[in-house]
Chain A
Amino acid sequence: MTAIGEPLVRRDGARKVTGSATYAYETPADAPLFCHPVQATVARGRISAIHTAEAEVLDGVLDVITYRTAERLASTEDAELALLQDREVAFRGQVIGLVVAETSEIARHGAELVVVDYLEHEHDTELSAERDDLYKPEKVNPAFPADTGTGDVDAAMASADVTVEQTYRTAMYHNNPLEPHATTALWDDDFLTLWDSTQGVHPSRKAVAKVFGLPAERVRVVCPFVGGGFGSKGLPHANVVLAAMAARAHPGRPVKLALTRQQMFSLAGYRTPTIQKMRLGATRDGELTALGLDVVEQTSRIKEFAEQTALPSRMMYAAPNRRTTHRLAALDVPVPSWMRAPGECPGMFGPEVAMDELAYELGLDPVELRVRNEPEVDPESGNPFSSRHLVECLREGARRFGWDSRDPRPGVRLEDGWLVGTGVAASVYPSSTRAGTTARVRFSQGRYAVEIGAADLGTGAWTVLPQIAADALDVPVEEIDIRIGDTDYPVAAVAGGSAGTATWGSAIVEAARTFRDKFGRDPADGDEADATTTDNPARKKYAMYAFGAQFAEARVHADTGEIRVPRLLGVFAAGRIINPRTARSQFLGGMTMGLSMALHEESVWDPRFGQVVNHDLAEYHVSVNADVDDIQAHWLDEEDAHVNALGAKGIGEIGIVGTAAAVVNAVFHATGVRVRELPVTLDKVLPALP
């Protein structure tokens, strides 16, 4: 009897589709208050006057909190969370006031009535690779060296048979989860309760407790359901601190705050745009001799976030001469943060398009080129891979996709007025398990309760964790109750880095073992045991990654240049799959988001104002149903004894990695037009159409 591997339906599915699941903003509350932020309308400056009287006298407004009246926070170390502490404006859209009122409508109206005078300073918000103030960060997210190198790339490029040297650009992207960032806060008897939409209740508690100078025990964070996050809810942003501030100012009354879609474009993180200068050198038979990637990206002047864009290039292919660098521009812009596969996602765009360009230069099949450059060990660390089945993914994907009959010539297939092409790219995502997560198992009235402060941001934790617990305890999955989404349960790592299930699951497996060791198979009512994850010693000896191969078919209308992708197929090697149903959703979701990145998504920056101007979902396009046709995810039966006790690798992020490159490579094959700047839109291919 094993629950792992069964395609169980989501335990929370019916509640979500019938609307009975309560999200943070919907937390039942007596006589709640509502907040609406006032945002800066200059990109840089100083508030010279803030006129709140008109808002304050509005019927139903309780107060308008500004830098003059806000409590002094205990810690302002994190500048993003140091809200309303002074009169400086660091980016357009920064919160400079908060209206607290009896209804959300009154709060919003009150915010409109606040008039602010600024001493405006010149602002600088334009990213370019030619800036003279680019700097090397001490580390890139979360703790990797900014630069690495071995051998001599310049010399190897100079002596290579064939080279590709191109600059690729990815756009600025916003996470845009369906549920906005939202919080209900209640301050009562020196105790702060936050019902917050978060990917991690414990990390959120830790950050908020620090900001307010509270012991963690006096903060409770509750989050049973999350309407998506894509990384943006991995760390608390302004909304949490604002709601908590308002609650402290109005003790005993619950306070609700939900960001509007527009506000999320400046207050909830985003993926930095990247400029990727890529160099590949190879022998005539396709063996890489040089691989260089120099990345330029942006961060906010008030808080550094250095996306680790060059990381996958360090380990993906064998090449004796390699060099990767990251340089940052610190601009007067909102604070960038995590977005689904930070680093790996943008970082596989340039390299995997460059590999396609190299394949054409060599007259070699792009699948074959990748196969020829498989490293025997991790080129960066020299360690063997705990498991690496990229070649199998490529071969299996090619077989399923019908790659073998491919005519490599670009721009020669016209079907019903559409130019047709196919493309491939590889995917990779690190496989990790975090130390310090605790799970507790308790027996009560014939059932097992598993408690862990995990968060289900839509990935299926409510469903897969019982599967893991059932097998670890060797009981039917129906006998398991799972309790997550609350700091009252044991401390757990964030749902991020595709490490949630592996980490929480490892703790559950350990706790189950401990439980059985202590109480045997016939426990008494109330018996309980817990266990905490530790560092995996195998991590020092093995490089641990999930791999995948992405195939795309692109159709480009020969008259109008419209681009559609009727087929996407991914094959992944991601360790043991806990639940095929929820896993497939993860892969397909990631691939859809990658398609979206390829064709649609772009936060359009207007440097005159210093803001994203297409800041709503009518103008910021994501792929919608009509854009997604035949999309398939498959996986290999991969076993990996080293990654963790489950043999499971993360799957939340690898689906987005490589998809955009596969699509752009397919567009090249369809049209002969090589687009090196995302998204690929019809105006970029139009001039070259017949």
Chain B
Amino acid sequence: MKPFAYDSPTDAVTAVRAVADDPSAVFLAGGTNLVDHLKLGIARPGRVVDVTGLTSTEITESDGGLSIGAGVRNSDLAADPRVRSRYPVLAESLLAGASGQLRNMATTGGNPLQRTRCVYFQDVTTPCNKRTPGSGCSAIGGYTRYHAILGASEHCVATHPSDMAVALAALGASVRVLGPDGERTIPFTELHRLPGDSPEKDTVLGHGELITAIDLPAPPGGRQRYRKVRDRASYAFALVSVAAVLDVADGTIRDARVAFGGVAHKPWRAWQAEDALRGARVSDAVFREAAEAELAQAEPVPGTEFKVPLLTRTLVSVLRELT
């Protein structure tokens, strides 16, 4: 681990300035991902700016929805009665993620910024365009069980690992950000980016921009579900996951919101599947067509082919459960 300077400022504006002024600086919140990266040599910051306690740890009512401070721990968010009753898809996604110990440390602001678990990204002795731009993608032609089928590029087939982020994408959340030039708000679905030819950039955040809160709009109508398919019953990343909100009246789908996890460089809002569902009569055939509409653009690499039928079947299964 490379030695680094450690700052623990007492307010967010100072923290943002500290990072913005130092190209080698990073924010530290729960540390469940960054500390690993420090040990593994993936992250080699010159300065670590601790933001624990600088952003809100409260969940507050806001315009019919909820505003979640960036410092709220994942386990507290999952246990909040308002989240559990109005946004069960979010609570379920949180509880499907990581382990109890990690959820006690991980934060609302940090969780969506965790980096891919691609085994080649995690190992500094192997080439990785996300870690070292231009070095190549070792996953292509290698071990791809947890890799992308949607929106990947020849430079990177990594997936985003967060479960919480998939639910937030489905719920139409937005992200409040404090940067050196002030505040801005980003729709959650636009926070993460696809790899393209610069996979080293996970999000649209600039250097020094700090997530201060995540806002949830008023709860959508209908029923919600997060379903994570993984290789063991707990403490495993998703092979595929589905966050779905389905509003059905008299057998007709009034509204649908669907997002996928474990299949793309970002939590994947399934707009085309939603279009196919909206206004249709509920049936397995309709659900399958919705999945196929979205997955027509799937481009599996060797080792990920199974995810296309798996995701199709999982979506059908979840939607069936919600009707």
- Which residues of A are interface residues toward B (Cβ below 8 A)? 41, 105, 108-109, 112, 262, 417, 559-562, 564, 599-600, 604, 606, 608-609, 613-616, 618-619, 621, 623-627, 681-683, 686-687, 689
Contacts and interface: CB of A to CB of B under 8 A. Distances in A.
A3 to B, nearest CB: 39
A608 B125 CA distance: 13
A689 B313 CA distance: 10
A687 B305 CA distance: 11
Interface in B143-196: 143, 145
A560 B142 contact: no
B298 interface: no
B232 A623 contact: yes
Nearest to B314: A560
A559 B310 CA distance: 8
B239 interface: yes
Given A614-B119, A621-B232, A686-B306, A606 B1 contact: no
Of B233, B234, B239, B309, chain A has the most CB atoms within 10 Å of the CB of B233
Contacts of B233: 564, 624, 626-627
A613 B143 contact: yes
Contact of B142 (A112, A599, A613, A624): A613
A560 B232 CA distance: 13
Rank and list the top 8 A-B pairs by shortest CB-CB distance, nearest first: A626-B233, A559-B317, A626-B234, A683-B306, A613-B119, A41-B125, A559-B313, A560-B229
A112 B239 CA distance: 33
Given A564-B233, A614-B119, A559 B314 contact: yes
Q: From DSSP, what is the main secondary structure of chain A's interface residues?
A: loop
A683 B232 contact: no
Contacts of A615: 119, 123
A682 B142 contact: no
Contacts of A559: 313-314, 316-317
Given A600-B231, A682-B231, A682-B239, A560 B317 contact: yes
B126 interface: yes
9 contacts: A109-B2, A109-B3, A560-B314, A561-B310, A619-B119, A624-B234, A626-B232, A686-B309, A686-B313
B1 A108 contact: yes
Interface of B: 1-3, 39, 41, 117, 119-120, 122-123, 125-126, 138, 141-143, 145, 229-237, 239, 306, 309-310, 313-314, 316-317
Contacts of A681: 231
A561 B239 CA distance: 12
Contacts of B316: 559
Contact of A105 (B1, B143, B310): B1
B231 A560 contact: no
Contacts of A609: 125-126, 138
Contacts of A600: 231-232
B143 A683 contact: no
A132 to B, nearest CB: 25
Contacts of B310: 560-561, 682-683, 686
Contacts of A627: 232-234
Given A262-B123, A606-B138, A626-B232, 12 more contacts: A108-B1, A109-B1, A112-B1, A560-B313, A562-B229, A613-B123, A613-B126, A619-B117, A621-B236, A623-B232, A682-B239, A682-B310
A174 B236 CA distance: 18
A608 B143 CA distance: 11
A49 B178 CA distance: 48
A112 B41 contact: yes
B125 to A, nearest CB: 4
A108 B239 CA distance: 33
A262 B124 CA distance: 12
Nearest to A417: B317
Contacts of B237: 618
B134 to A, nearest CB: 18
Contacts of A682: 229, 231, 239, 306, 310
Contacts of B119: 604, 613-615, 619
Given A626-B234, A627-B232, A608 B314 contact: no
A538 B174 CA distance: 77
A614 B126 CA distance: 13
Contacts of A105: 1
A618 B39 CA distance: 15
A468 B314 CA distance: 56
A621 B234 CA distance: 10
Nearest to A561: B310
A6 B120 CA distance: 51
Of A561, A613, A624, chain B has the most CB atoms within 10 Å of the CB of A613
Contacts of A599: 231-232
Contact of B122 (A560, A616, A623, A626): A616
B142 A606 contact: yes
Contacts of B123: 262, 613, 615
A609 B313 CA distance: 35
Contacts of B143: 604, 606, 613-614
A601 B320 CA distance: 32
A616 B39 CA distance: 13
Nearest to A617: B235
A625 B99 CA distance: 11
Of B126, B232, B309, B314, chain A has the most CB atoms within 10 Å of the CB of B232
B307 to A, nearest CB: 9
A109 B3 CA distance: 8
Given A109-B2, A559-B317, A613-B123, A624 B232 contact: yes
Contacts of B306: 682-683, 686
Contacts of A109: 1-3
A276 to B, nearest CB: 24
B232 A618 contact: no
A624 B235 contact: yes
Nearest to B44: A112
Contact of A112 (B2, B141, B232, B235): B2
A687 B309 CA distance: 8
A623 B231 CA distance: 10
Given A105-B1, A109-B1, A616-B122, A608 B141 contact: yes
Contacts of A614: 119, 143
A417 B313 CA distance: 13
A560 B240 CA distance: 10
Nearest to B99: A624
A61 to B, nearest CB: 13
Of A262, A619, A627, A687, chain B has the most CB atoms within 10 Å of the CB of A619
B302 to A, nearest CB: 13
A681 B236 CA distance: 14
Contacts of B120: 613
A679 to B, nearest CB: 8
A273 to B, nearest CB: 15
A615 B309 CA distance: 28
B117 to A, nearest CB: 7
A559 B234 CA distance: 19
Nearest to B139: A613
A452 to B, nearest CB: 39
Nearest to A606: B142
A65 to B, nearest CB: 21
Contacts of A687: 309
Nearest to A563: B231
Nearest to A683: B306
A108 B44 CA distance: 13
A604 B119 CA distance: 10
A559 B229 CA distance: 11
Contacts of B41: 112
B200 to A, nearest CB: 20
Contacts of B314: 559-560
